[in-house]
Amino acid sequence: MNATKLAIATVASLLTATVLAVFLSWVETQHAINIYGFSAMFVIPIGAIGCGFVSAIGFWLVSRVLHIRPTGAARFFPLLTALATFGIANYLSYTWFKFPNGASPSDVMSFVEYLKLVSTEASYSIGSSGNDTTIDRVGSLGYALTALQIIGFAGGGFLLSSTLTKIPWCETSERFMKKTAKHQRFFGEEGLGDQSHLAFAAMQATDIESVRSIVTNEQDKVKPRKRCVSLLLTEHACTHCGRHRHSLSQTERNGNNWAVTASAEFDEAGSPTLATAPPTPAIVS
Ligand SMILES: [Zn+2]
């Protein structure tokens, strides 16, 4: 990642963190709802995971447009953004919150003291309403809960950014590839025959035309059923150098369960103009 991309990704991340933190702190101080404090079964920080996920949106968008993979140093962006969001939101609450006498925590204590206080003095409710067990003061257990929140924040950020690593990547041009085609053929559980074997053999021989003709074959076409097998061919191309990636997978469905039972892929060099071919000129006579 070069310096320009690094700078833009940093600005986008900080911007998302700030906007989200302002919103979270506003809801917390004005409506007494701590969104990132929501947890399921006491320990699963779903609120924090959701907020962490949202905090990574700026990084995700910039990465998509500028072709940044979350590998190497870029891997830590979602973590740093999540921490920034958590820190800014708490700092804003520290200055915005008003005690009944009109004073703010910032008038009477340091930020670190405030963080200690909100961690240890928080009250938590467990169970469904009407049958709650309420812990009025969580004490030092609160540090563990705060740590869980921070982990949740970071986890949510990684959850979103990890979707970027699933997009096919052109090593030559250091760019994300674009999906150019997707074909899926379904077979009844009895009908796969040697079609799958032939398709995977063609993949091995990098004979993409044969794979396409098998997967796009309209004969004995079947609709997806409760029990079926399917072949999925996905094709991506790099708009910069024209390199192609072909991926074939075989999926077996049994009721609501899906399982990929075989997969193969290969890259193929292409013409640089292929993906960005100019329109064919009209023939003038
Ligand atoms: Zn390329």
Residues 93-147 pLDDT 10s = 888 888 788 888 888 888 888 888 887 776 554 444 444 455 556 667 778 888 8
pLDDT of residue 44: 82
Distance CA 122, CA 137 (A): 6
Six-digit token string for 222 = 């079947």
Core vs surface per residue 9-42: b (16+ CB within 10 A) or e: bbebbbebbbbbbeebbeebbeeeebbbbbbeee
User: 35 CA distance to ligand 1 centroid (A)?
Assistant: 42
Give the domain ranges of the chain. Answer: 3-166, 170-268
Give the count of beta carbons closer than 10 Å to the beta carbon of residue 151.
15
- The residue among 209, 189, 186, 190 whose CA lies nearest residue 199 is 209
What residues have their beta carbon closer than 5 A to ion ligand 1?
A: 170, 172-173, 238, 240-241, 243
User: 237 CA distance to ligand 1 centroid (A)?
Assistant: 8
> Is 35:86 a contact under the CB 8 Å cutoff?
no
Six-digit token string for 65 = 């447009």
| pLDDT tens track for 23-58 | 988 988 888 788 877 777 777 888 899 999 999 999
User: 177 CA distance to ligand 1 centroid (A)?
Assistant: 8
User: 70 CA distance to ligand 1 centroid (A)?
Assistant: 18
User: 271 CA distance to ligand 1 centroid (A)?
Assistant: 10
> Is 77:168 a contact under the CB 8 Å cutoff?
no
The region of weakest confidence among 13-17, 132-136, 181-185, 217-221 is 132-136
Core vs surface per residue 62-88: b (16+ CB within 10 A) or e: bbeebbbbbeeebeebbbbbbbbbbeb
User: 252 CA distance to ligand 1 centroid (A)?
Assistant: 33
User: 282 CA distance to ligand 1 centroid (A)?
Assistant: 29
User: 216 CA distance to ligand 1 centroid (A)?
Assistant: 27
Q: What is the pTM of this model?
A: 0.74
User: 275 CA distance to ligand 1 centroid (A)?
Assistant: 10
233 pLDDT more than 90: yes
- The residue assigned the tokens 């990084």 is 59
> Is 115:89 a contact under the CB 8 Å cutoff?
no
Chain length of the chain: 285
User: 198 CA distance to ligand 1 centroid (A)?
Assistant: 29
User: 30 CA distance to ligand 1 centroid (A)?
Assistant: 50
Give the count of beta carbons closer than 10 Å to the beta carbon of residue 110.
11
User: 17 CA distance to ligand 1 centroid (A)?
Assistant: 32
